Structures are given as C-alpha cells and as structure tokens.
Structure 1
Amino acid sequence: MSGRFPIEDVSPAVSCGRYPARAVVGELVPVSARAYREGHDALGCNVVWLGPDGRARPFTRMRPGEPGQDRWHATIAPDAVGEWIFTVEAFSDPYLTWHNAVTKKIAAGQGAVELANDLADGVRVLTAATKLVPKADRVRLRNAVKALRDTARPLPERVSPALELAELLWEHPVRELVTTGEEYRIWVDRERALFSAWYEFFPRSEGAIPATVDAPARSGTFATATERLPGVAAMGFDVLYLPPIHPIGRVNRKGPNNSLVAGPDDVGSPWAIGAEEGGHDAIHPDLGTPADFRDFVVAAAEHGLEVAMDLALQCAPDHPWVTEHPEWFTTRADGSIGYAENPPKKYQDIYPLNFDNDPDGIRAEMLRVVLHWVGEGVKIFRVDNPHTKPVDFWHWLIWAVKLVDPDVLFLAEAFTRPAMMHGLAKVGFTQSYTYFTWRTSAAQLRGYCEELVAAADYMRPNFWPNTPDILHETLQHGGPPMFKIRAVLAALLSPSWGMYAGYELFEHVARPGAEEYLDNEKYQLRPRDWAGALARGRSLAPFITTLNRVRRDNPALHRLRNLVFHDIDNPALLCWSKRDTATGNTVLVICSFDSHTVQWGNTTLDMPALGLDWHDRFTVHDELTGASYDWGQRNAVRLDPYLQPAHVLTLRRPAAPGPADAGSPGQAGTEPATLTVQDVPADLSGTAPTAPAQKDDARWTS
C-alpha cells in the first residue's frame, strides 16, 4: 500500500492473495475493504479493475456498510474469461466533507458571514469537479458555482444548487490524497463453472447384453450409448460425465461386487486403467474407436450436452507405464509395487502413482494426457481422488492447462478432510464434491451450506445425492419420497448438482454392510429399461425434468452467494430463498426431510432478503403444482412426502392488501387449497405406494 489512508482486510482475497478468487462471466462479485481516516473529513473508496485484455473497466464507487465499522462495499461484474486484477483505492472526498459541514452549520443557525470560508471552499471543489463530470452535467456545476458567489441571494438559494449535486459527485467524485491498495486477482471462468447439471452413466452399460448360458456378455459402445443422449437431455442435464473409457487391466481384475476373482466375462473396473491395448490416452476397444468417441462428443453437443471425462491418475498392473516408467510407482520392501488401499478397503487392481521420484517426467506426461483429450473436444474433467496426489502438482497442472485453453474445467472428487477439500479448491479446482450426501437433517444442511457460502470466493460446490460408490442409507430406506427430497435439496441449494444413472429408477439395494450398490456397475454391465420404467410410472425422470427446468428458467438459482435461509418452526423442514438482484427473480423453497410422514411448519421469512418490506403481501407460484398463493412473512405449510415433499415457489407480484393472518395455504382464517391425487401431475405422483395417502379421497392443503 502507498498513500495516506489505511486499506485493510480486502475481499475477495484467497489465502491473503496467494491464489486468485473465483467468479464466472456475468457474476456479481462483492468487493469489500476496511478503510478509515483521522478526524471528521469524509473518506471515499472505489475499485479499479482490469480485464484479461489489460483494459480498465469503469470506475466503481464503494458504499459504506454498517455505521461505525469503516467497511466499504461494491460489486463488480466481469464480462470475459481470464484473469482480472482489482485494486481498492481510498481518497479524501472534499465535496462530501463540504456537504456535511455546510448542512450541519445551516441547521445550527449559522449565516452567510459565518459560512464565508465554507462557501469559498465549495467554489473551489465544484470548479475542480467541473472537469470530472460528463459534459452534459457541467452547466449544473457552473450554475452552482455562480450561485455560491452570488452574495445578493439568500443563503439557502446560494447553497441549494451545490447541495443537489450529491448524487452526481458521488459517481464522479473529486479525489484528493488518493491511496492505492494492493492488487488482487480474480480468475473468471465461463458460466458452466458455477451453474451446471451433471448426469453420469457408463457407456458400456447402454445397449449392453449380459452374459447368458449360451452367449458371453456384450458391452455397449459409443454408438449404442448415443441412443441414450436424448433421454438425458430431455431431463434438462447439460453435462454428461463418463467414467474412464480407457482399456481395463486384466491383472488382478475385480469380479462382481468387488470380488477378488474375475471370470472370463467379467468386465472389471474402469478405474483400473491400462492394458496391452494402451493407457490413459487410449480408448477401450469394446467401446469403439477414437473416431467413434469424437462422433459421440459431437452427438452429445447436438443435444445440449457437454461431455466430461474422468481423469483418474492411477494404473492397472498391466498399464504400459508400469514397465516403461517403473520409477513412477512405489516399490515395497519385498520388491512388489504397492497397490491402492483405503483401509480396510483394498484395490489390488490399481497401482497409485508416486509423484516424487520423477516429478518433471510425470508432470510432463500428465499434461500431455490432459491436452490430448482437450484436443479431442473434452473441456471438463472430473478428477478421481485428487486428495491422494500432491496439492502443488494440481496447482501446476490446472494452470498449465488453462494457459493453453482457459475454458477447461476441473471437478474435484475429494471426499476428504475439510482442509484438503478447501485447499484443492484454492489452488485451482473449478468445482468440488462435498459432504452434501451425509448432511441429512435440516440443521446439518443449513449449517453446511452457510459454510459453503462463506467460501464462495474460491470454492464452488457440486451436490450429488448418489454416485456409483455411494448409496446413502437415507436412499436405501427412505422410499421414493426420499429420492425426490434429496433431488430438490441438491438441485435447488447448489448452482451445480449431479446424479448417477439409476437414481431416477429409485435404485436403492445396497451390498450388505456397505454404503454402496449391490451388483455395483463399477464391476459389471448394468443395462436398464429406461422407456419401460417411464411407461409404468416407475421413473423419477419427469420430476427431475421439472427441477432442471425450474433451475434453467430462474436466474436466482444460477448463483451460490445469494443463498439465504429463513426460519421455520419445524426442525424436519428447511426453508431457503435465492434472489437475483439484476432481474428481481426470486425463488423460495420449503423442503421436508421426512420421507414417511406429513409435516407442518410455520415460516418467519426474512422479507428484505426477498426484496420486500416487512409487512408486504405477495403472490407465490408453486412450480411443482401450478398453484398460486397469497403469502406474507408468516405462512403455514403442509408437506406430504408422497404427494408433495417440497414447495418450490417463485415470487410473481405483490398481492393486494389483506388481513395479516390471511392467504397462506393451510393457515388459520384461509380456506386451504385442496387437490385430489388425480389432480397431482404425473411427475409428482408416479411412484407413491398403495398406502392410505394414495386413496382417491386423499387430500392435501399446501
């Protein structure tokens, strides 16, 4: 810092500015700093910022925050991908100092004689300001100067034109004693870095034919997997994530359910990468050729899907690197190469890489592999277990790739300690898997999301209710309503979310004693009857489609920083909102965590967070049912897990004034809206069990 005034605690600043903060194109990025000065003269602050092209963007004035705290705030909206630089400046504001002093002195009854020096000071400041304001406004300043000098006018008429310039001179201030703070960086990604909907499937399962007594198993291919693209796109997903598509090792290949013995038809785990057909830059021959893969990427793009590839930096025992570069692995005391372990789990079919024996060689090869797939049209990588590799390696690799193509994105699959998870985000990972799966109460998830919002300057969460490795007990035992509940929470709390294929079919049978699927697709082909399940009403696809449509249509859901929680008096319910200040778009959600019983609750909404005054009435439209309600700060809600486990409400317009206790669904003094089961859209009622709530006379009031 150089200059007259202290500038402290600048934000966003990641690790004291060691790493760039993160944003996406068009995102409103909050900038704040603590700045103060001696005495009573006015201080002003502003942000100056440069784009990746080195061109300065418009001067942004900062506004003071809570009185007495000397905290200043502004927002900037970067408009291009790349590295941005911003600096906070503090300055003496002579016009605001003059304005404050003159206003107080006149209010105290002082006259023109006593204010002679102040009037002269005003002439000096406004004369200097004339050069700073737009040409169209300069006549106002000249007239104000003329009035200040006119001793024939009454004092109020002399100062009034100058006092009326406050708004203009806020935007175009006279700045004296300018102090320039330190430079800070913001890396700006494309929009998909923050807002995305992921879907994961195994290409080899799409169109696959399992083994029979008379014939061996037949893998699906990129060509057969292409037939699944319309169904994925129709649900509203925009990122299609593929597990590894490389040759699979034969040495120590795992059989079904992670068994140690594989039969001749067992396909093995795609994460056991490498065989005589090639390694990380090769394609499994059962899936097709490199040309087939390129065709698949093009076909996906035609359906609005961007293909994300798995980057798993590990090897099967018969990977070519094992013989070509034995120094890239860890040799144990008995001379064998150590396989991967996460006690008590053992992965005998995988050799982890050792990044310390030949760091230059291994870095060069990893960069070559990533850029090979970038050249094949892949711009998103889901990185497997990055927390088991050195953090400084990822810092180097990610930014080396971005130097070649700044649009490449990296998702960290790091279910690990908080420090490591956050550290990986700081050094460059675009998105992060999170602990969402294990936050199963309203209080837990609220607290966790508040932690994530606090880290929004560098960490972007991606919420997944399931993965091929993770089938939480809530899904094992919660029934179809829990699948809806977890989808609502994932899709509407986080700007990015994803799900693994089979979620929409309510797959929930776990391997005994484990938090993972029985007959895990990691080790065997698993073709599914998508169309048949949908025709029988045994698919959650229509509900997922609705959620993704709501996400797409509401800009408020495209951001993380705007997440606000509201009080509700039932601990089984969670209430939150998101508001886009640029458009006024506001979404309010109330979701149950109980998949078995009806839950009632009463909200106490933070009205200013919704863009409303405390006593306003307003109309909400439920995007799940099409119903509309008159709401206020306090509203009663009733959520039935089988009919509607959540309200997803968009605010439409202020409602007409009414009684303070009127208008909430189910609230005292209001006739509740009622729907029979037949009235419920198919995407909400398709899989409700034949329980009392499913009878024709069942009613609900929310």
Structure 2
Amino acid sequence: MVTTTRASRSRPWRSASALPVRDTRAWQTERDTAARRVPLAQPSPAVPWGDYRPKAFAGEVVPFRVTSFREGHDRIGVHVRLHSPSGDESLHRLRPLQDGFDRWQADIALLEQGVWRFRFESFGDDFATWEHAASLKIAAGVDAAVMREMGALLFDRARAEKGRPAAERKTLAGAAASLRDPAVGDAAALLIVEDPTIAEFFRQRPLMSLATLGDDLELLVERERAGVGAWYEFFPRSEGARRAKDGTVKSGTFRTAAKRVPAVAEMGFEVLYLPPIHPIGTLNRKGPNNTLDAGPGDPGSPWAIGSAAGGHDTVHPDLGSLADFRSFVRTARSAGVEVALDLALQAAPDHPWVAEHPEWFTTLPDGSIAYAENPPKKYQDIYPVNFDNDPAGIRAEVLRVVRHWIAQGVRIFRVDNPHTKPLQFWEWLISTVTADEPDVVFLAEAFTRPAPLQSLAAAGFQQSYTYFTWRNTKAELEEFLSGLAHETDAFVRPNLFVNTPDILTEYLQFGGRPAYRIRAAIAATAAPTYGVYAGYELYENVARPGSEENIDNEKYEYKFRDWAGAVERGDSLAPFLTRLNEIRRAHPALRQLRNLSIHWSDDDAILVYAKHLDAALSPDGRSDTVIVVVNTDPHSVRQTMVHLDTRVWGVEPGEPYDVEDLITGARWTWADHNYVMLDAFTEPVHILHVKEPR
C-alpha cells in the first residue's frame, strides 16, 4: 500500500492511491465507435449542466469517480491521471465502490490553486484476472498446471517491462521458476498466487490490455478561504455608536468598529462581513422596522445605496474616510481576520447613477422609476438596475467598482440578491475579476429556487447561502446535508449562516436558548463554512410581529449591545461559539465538505452524522474522525440508541473504541450501538472525537 511520505507531501496533492507515473503515448485505443473497449462513463467531479468546470478549494479531498466495466468475468482496473497547474503529473488507482455496480473512486487532496487537468483510464487487469482464476482453480485442483504456466508467463512479461525495479524483477523471476518447477506442489504455488508482495507489484504497475483513455477534463481549485471559514457579520455604524441625552445618536465609525475586531478574532472567526458601507439615500429613506416615516436621526437601510455624497465607490461620511476603511482592513488582517464587503447592485433614488444613467433603470408608463419589491415586502428606497438597458455600460461600471474595492484590500464580496440579475452577467464578472485576481471570493446571497441557486454556483460563485435556516428537523437535515455533501458538492459550496438581520426563523424565535446552541453546533460541524450575524451570541430572538425579521431591525437603526457585560454575566453564547471554532481549527475532518456520512438513531429528533479524514489525506498525516449527535428538538430531553457504521473510520462492527466529547471533555468507550441522552436545556449536542482504535 502506498502511504504518504514526507517527500510526497511536498507535491501538490495527497493520496493513498498514488502510483508510479507511466506513459500512455504507446497505448493503442479504439476510437471508431462511441463505446470504447473498456467503457468509461459518468465522470465526476462534474457540473450537471452548462459548460462549467467543477471546482474544489486548496486542501479539499476530492472524490474522483467514474463508471467502468467490461464484458465477461475478466477483471479491470481504473486510473485517474492528474496534471497540476504547475505541471506535476500523477497517477492514482481507483477502487471499486460497491461490488456489482461498476462505480470506481479515488480520494485525492488537491493542494495547489489553479486549473487542474484530469483523465480517467481503464484497462483489462491481466494479473488480477489470473490471480482470481488461479486462486480458485489451483485450490480446487482444476487446471492447476495451466494456471501455473499462465502465471509464469505473466511474470515473464512483467520482468520485460522497462521501469520495473531490479529487486522486483528478481522476485518475479523466482516466482515464475517456482510455478514451473514440478517439485513445487500446488499448495506452495497457491502461496505465490496469494503473495501480497507480488500483488502490490502489480497494483503499482499493472499488466494492462485493452487500454482505454477517457476525455481530458478540468477542475478549478481555488484558495482555501473559498471553501473554509467562520464568518461574523456586524454593522460598523453600531459598533461605537452613542446615544446623547437628547436622544440623538452619533454613528459608530471604522475607528470605533476596529475596537470590536479583537473580540471577533478571539471568538475564532476568520471573515468579518460588513453590510454596505456607502452613502445612504435620503429620498424615501426607511425608518425603524421598515416604516416609511423616517425621522431626521434615522440612518436608513445601508442597502439603499447612494446620495449626493456618492455611490458604490464611496464610504458613508459618518463612518469616516476611505483611508479609515483601509486602516480598518489592516487592523482586521493583523488580527487574522479578512474583511468581506457587501456588493449590492441597486441604487437609492438619489444615487448619482439615477441622474447620470437613467437608462440603467426601469421607467414605468407614468414616468416614474420602478422600485424594488419582493412581495409582500416593498423597498421604496431602492431602485433595481435593469441589466437589459446598456449592458456594456453597466458591466464596465460594476467592474470598475469591484476593482476599486480590491485596491482597498478587499478580497471577499458578499453579493446581495444575485438571482435577480442575469446569470450571464455574473459569469462574465467573476471570470473577468478572477482572471486577474484569483484570490477573490464571491458569496451568493441567493435564497431562491434550487435551479437559480445552483446555476449561480456553477457559473462562478465560490460560495452560496443555502436553505439551512429553514431545515430544522432531523429528517430535513439528513436530506439537506447529504445533498450538499454528495449531490452538488462539485460546484456548490454552502455557507451555513445561522441567521441574518432579516432572517429570524420560527425555530430561533420559539426554541429559546437551546435552539441557538443547536443551530450553531450543526452549522459549525456539518460544513466547512458557516456564519453568524452579530447579536446571535446574545440570543436576540424577538421578531417583528408576523415576520421572520428581528424587531427593531438593525437594517434601519443603530443597535446598542453590551458585549462584555453579557459575557461577564454568563449571558452570552460567545464562549460556546469560541469553542466551536477551536474545534474546527483542531480537526481537519471538519474543514471538508464531501466527507459527511449520515448515521442513525431510534429517535426522530436525534440527528447523527460523522466527518472522517484518512491519515494519507490529512495535513498532519493523522486520521481524524468527529461524530456529531444532536437533539434537534430544543424543547425536550431525549434518550435513545444511536447506530454507527464504524467501518467509515476503519473500525469493524462490534469493536470498541474511545471517544472524547470536545464540548464537555467527557470520555466514553463506544462501539457501533450506543446509548445517549441529550438534554436540550443543558447539553443538546455531543461532538465526539474518535481516539485511535484499541
């Protein structure tokens, strides 16, 4: 078995299936029919529609899969040949996933950013065919002499191949001689057939016939932050805002908001997302709770972008200057936090675009400009851009704006409602930007139907909001999380935000404090990227009547929060969030998406899943397994049996192994069937690290 060595880790990949690279230029393959000699079909990773590349992030373990078979009972082998962006070539042997279904897989961690090329190759495996037949026939005393000579001929053929080590050739020569020696009995010959050393020779360098080459395919590998990260959202204007005795409020600034950054970093968050920081329109400005009666001191919605003070390339005067923003970005970076900026392609009625480019908007028959609507919600303070009017001019302006903020140090953009803009526009913008700036990441805030959400991801968005906030029961979560990990994993990277300023689900409204712990634990462990909106750690769960929005919504007013006091009183979820982020950093299995496996319980509220990473694929060369058992009912105490397929992490059914609860520190000895009790009010979740098997 090939294992990862110090030398192999310097390569742009990690794999337990790597083989010596062999040239294929001399292969004779039949291409005069659509069906190739040893067919290859359904290659993966792949995007199910459109001419789009599948994608991964640096360090992600990618399952390369293909369907391949041949007629009769002879054995086949399947390889995948990889070419890294820097030119490294590697060959990897696929394993059959399930007997009788002809699906093959190799798991490979891709470490280098850029476009990888890969190709599947299938062949008749002559040694494996002989080994299977000889082990049966010699043991049964059927055609033993024929089987022995066939094996000797195979060994002679292998010895003649260039590139086989001398020691290997010597061993094969001795084995061939023994198979031909009448003094060597069939029992001894059978030991040669079953010799694991000889089998490994042919696994590394198989004897091939009927070789078939698949199509050349591509895979885009982006930087790690494109797929891994803990996000935190806050409004800079609220951080450091002060209320005067007369009731007026002085806005927080980039300088006062920078004082909050160390606390965000100490909680373990890696991305700090800021809602729009631009001037806010005064015409039709919204007041508290989205009302139409804004007072002189109401700041308005940051998404109503633009005023006489400027548009998308300007910072709000209350927040400071452009230089202050750059300083804020540097402060965050020095704390190990990246700043993500909102990109909302819309305009307030007094945005400079409206006067300079009225053709960029939709004019109604009465001469007015159409404002944004998402029935029953109305946004009288926002004009949506009409991308069918002057598309070239709009493209040029948006590209200019994005490049402007890249120049200020921004490499991550959270895009507001991208599903309300043309898909072609996003494909063009993202490909144009990343051609020059491959580290830039775009997160799609596309709470929409599956087809638009998935098409945006396929067209280039590195991350996507999902329906996670509305998937709360055990059954819903099993289906949802499994789909993310195994159905759309080649092109959709989920960002499991637990809440937003305008998404406060019934589960959080009525689930009490247990609901906040439960949702954070699932989000932080089920996917490598998740996020929270400020106030989550303070259990802000009061909704505006009849809505799924926070009352006194921060979109329309300042918020005053006592962060430190809440922690001192033991009234904050911050310590729990901190611990979750510590666990994520310590366990590489949790920084993967495609390795999730769903397990079972006897209770319809107890969700069970695991994340496993083999040692050969892990950055530290050690295997890592985390089991999550969570009570999804925030109103109950549940006790049940959980049932685990322990083979996922290399433990045979029935064998004991030790686990440690990473939240409480408790330790137990588990097997494949285990009793659990989870009290939603005190301990709603077990996050268990599997220790090395006994």
Q: Match of 2:662?
A: 623
Q: Which of 333, 343, 359 does residue 391 from structure 2 map onto?
A: 359
Q: Match of 1:698?
A: none
Q: Deviations over 1:557-590 (max 9, x none)?
A: 1112121222112212212211112232111122
Q: Match of 2:500?
A: 467
TM-score by length of 2: 0.90
In structure 2, how many angstroms separate the alpha carbons of the residues matched to 1:592 and 1:158?
57
Q: Match of 2:27?
A: none
In structure 1, how many angstroms separate the alpha carbons of the residues matched to 2:684 and 2:61?
32
Q: Match of 1:640?
A: 679
Give the 3-state SS of the residue equivalent to 2:599 in structure 1: strand
Q: Give the Å deviation of 1:218.
A: 0.9
Q: Match of 1:10?
A: 43
Is the contact between residue 156 and residue 173 of structure 2 (CA under 8 Å) also seen in structure 1? no
In structure 1, how many angstroms separate the alpha carbons of the residues matched to 2:152 and 2:515?
72
In structure 2, how many angstroms separate the alpha carbons of the residues matched to 1:52 and 1:359?
34
Q: Match of 1:31?
A: 64
Q: Which of 397, 402, 406 does residue 374 from structure 1 map onto?
A: 406
Q: Match of 2:630?
A: 591
Is the contact between residue 620 and residue 629 of structure 1 (CA under 8 Å) also seen in structure 2? yes
Q: Give the Å deviation of 1:146.
A: 5.0
Q: Which of 573, 577, 581 does residue 540 from structure 1 map onto?
A: 573
Q: Match of 1:70?
A: 102
Q: More deviation in 248-257 or 583-592?
A: 583-592
Q: Give the Å deviation of 1:631.
A: 2.0
Q: Which of 290, 296, 306 does residue 338 from structure 2 map onto?
A: 306
Q: Deviations over 1:301-331 (max 9, x none)?
A: 1111111111111111111111222221111
In structure 1, how many angstroms separate the alpha carbons of the residues matched to 2:515 and 2:442?
30
Q: Which of 152, 163, 172 does residue 132 from structure 1 map onto?
A: 163
Give the 3-state SS of the residue equivalent to 1:420 in structure 2: helix
Is residue 2:651 matched to residue 1:612?
yes
Is the contact between residue 627 and residue 687 of structure 2 (CA under 8 Å) also seen in structure 1? yes
Give the 5 Å matches for 1:90-109: 90-109=122-141
Q: Which of 587, 596, 609 does residue 554 from structure 1 map onto?
A: 587
Q: Which of 59, 65, 71 does residue 91 from structure 2 map onto?
A: 59
Q: Give the Å deviation of 1:273.
A: 0.8
Is residue 2:239 matched to residue 1:206?
yes
Is the contact between residue 447 and residue 453 of structure 2 (CA under 8 Å) also seen in structure 1? yes
Q: Which of 42, 45, 48 does residue 78 from structure 2 map onto?
A: 45
Q: Give the Å deviation of 1:353.
A: 0.8
Decide whether aligned partners of structure 1 residues 137 and 276 sit closer, same or farther in structure 2, where only a CA change above 3 A counts: farther
Give the 3-state SS of the residue equivalent to 1:228 in structure 2: helix
Q: Which of 312, 334, 346 does residue 378 from structure 2 map onto?
A: 346
Q: Which of 322, 331, 340 does residue 290 from structure 1 map onto?
A: 322
In structure 2, how many angstroms separate the alpha carbons of the residues matched to 1:413 and 1:477?
25
Q: Deviations over 1:175-232 (max 9, x none)?
A: 333211112221112222222110000001100113542x632111110001001111
Q: Match of 1:177?
A: 210
Q: Match of 1:678?
A: none
Give the 5 Å matches for 1:567-586: 567-582=600-615, 583-586=622-625
In structure 1, how many angstroms separate the alpha carbons of the residues matched to 2:305 and 2:376?
22
Give the 5 Å matches for 1:141-220: 141-147=172-178, 164=195, 165-210=198-243, 212-213=245-246, 216-220=248-252
In structure 2, how many angstroms separate the alpha carbons of the residues matched to 1:645 and 1:42?
49
Q: Which of 468, 471, 492 does residue 525 from structure 2 map onto?
A: 492
Q: Give the Å deviation of 1:469.
A: 0.7
Q: More deviation in 560-569 or 160-169?
A: 160-169
Provide the aligned C-alpha RMSD in A: 2.2
Decide whether aligned partners of structure 1 residues 360 and 145 sit closer, same or farther in structure 2, where only a CA change above 3 A counts: farther
Q: Match of 2:640?
A: 601
In structure 2, how many angstroms separate the alpha carbons of the residues matched to 1:441 and 1:420?
25
Q: Match of 1:235?
A: 267
Decide whether aligned partners of structure 1 residues 622 and 112 sit closer, same or farther in structure 2, where only a CA change above 3 A counts: closer
In structure 2, how many angstroms separate the alpha carbons of the residues matched to 1:512 and 1:609?
47
Is the contact between residue 465 and residue 497 of structure 2 (CA under 8 Å) also seen in structure 1? yes
Q: Deviations over 1:440-460 (max 9, x none)?
A: 211111121122122111111
Q: Give the Å deviation of 1:491.
A: 1.4
Q: Deviations over 1:90-124 (max 9, x none)?
A: 12223333333444442342567645862563254
Decide whether aligned partners of structure 1 residues 83 and 624 sit closer, same or farther in structure 2, where only a CA change above 3 A counts: same
Q: Give the Å deviation of 1:7.
A: 0.9
Q: Match of 2:484?
A: 452
Q: Match of 2:25?
A: none
Decide whether aligned partners of structure 1 residues 162 and 134 sit closer, same or farther in structure 2, where only a CA change above 3 A counts: farther
Q: Give the Å deviation of 1:489.
A: 1.8
Q: Which of 214, 224, 228 does residue 256 from structure 2 map onto?
A: 224
Q: Match of 1:245?
A: 277
In structure 1, how many angstroms separate the alpha carbons of the residues matched to 2:471 and 2:193?
58
Is the contact between residue 84 and residue 116 of structure 2 (CA under 8 Å) also seen in structure 1? yes
Decide whether aligned partners of structure 1 residues 320 and 70 sit closer, same or farther in structure 2, where only a CA change above 3 A counts: same
Decide whether aligned partners of structure 1 residues 136 and 403 sit closer, same or farther in structure 2, where only a CA change above 3 A counts: farther
In structure 2, how many angstroms separate the alpha carbons of the residues matched to 1:296 and 1:44?
55
Give the 3-state SS of the residue equivalent to 1:59 in structure 2: strand
Is the contact between residue 50 and residue 86 of structure 1 (CA under 8 Å) also seen in structure 2? yes
Q: Which of 517, 531, 549 does residue 550 from structure 2 map onto?
A: 517
Decide whether aligned partners of structure 1 residues 600 and 158 sit closer, same or farther in structure 2, where only a CA change above 3 A counts: closer
Decide whether aligned partners of structure 1 residues 343 and 95 sit closer, same or farther in structure 2, where only a CA change above 3 A counts: same
Q: Give the Å deviation of 1:265.
A: 1.2
Q: Which of 408, 426, 441 does residue 409 from structure 1 map onto?
A: 441
Give the 3-state SS of the residue equivalent to 2:658 in structure 1: strand
Is the contact between residue 126 and residue 145 of structure 1 (CA under 8 Å) also seen in structure 2? no
Decide whether aligned partners of structure 1 residues 647 and 42 sit closer, same or farther in structure 2, where only a CA change above 3 A counts: closer
Aligned letter for 1:367?
L
Runs of 5+ unmatched residues, structure 1:
656-702
TM-score by length of 1: 0.89
Give the 3-state SS of the residue equivalent to 2:495 in structure 1: strand
Q: Give the Å deviation of 1:461.
A: 1.2
Give the 3-state SS of the residue equivalent to 1:526 in structure 2: coil
Q: How many residues align?
A: 652
Decide whether aligned partners of structure 1 residues 630 and 64 sit closer, same or farther in structure 2, where only a CA change above 3 A counts: closer
Q: More deviation in 296-305 or 634-643?
A: 634-643
Q: Give the Å deviation of 1:161.
A: 5.3
Aligned letter for 1:650?
H
Q: Match of 1:669?
A: none
Q: More deviation in 117-126 or 433-442?
A: 117-126
Q: Deviations over 1:585-631 (max 9, x none)?
A: 11112211232332222212222124311111222211221211222
Give the 3-state SS of the residue equivalent to 2:398 in structure 1: helix
Is the contact between residue 255 and residue 266 of structure 1 (CA under 8 Å) also seen in structure 2? yes
Give the 3-state SS of the residue equivalent to 1:364 in structure 2: helix
Q: Give the Å deviation of 1:535.
A: 1.5
Aligned letter for 1:275?
S
Q: Give the Å deviation of 1:482.
A: 1.6
Q: Give the Å deviation of 1:162.
A: 7.2
Aligned letter for 2:218?
R
Is the contact between residue 241 and residue 250 of structure 2 (CA under 8 Å) also seen in structure 1? yes
In structure 2, how many angstroms separate the alpha carbons of the residues matched to 1:395 and 1:422?
13
Give the 3-state SS of the residue equivalent to 2:90 in structure 1: coil
Aligned letter for 1:133?
R
Q: Match of 1:690?
A: none
In structure 1, how many angstroms separate the alpha carbons of the residues matched to 2:308 and 2:176?
85
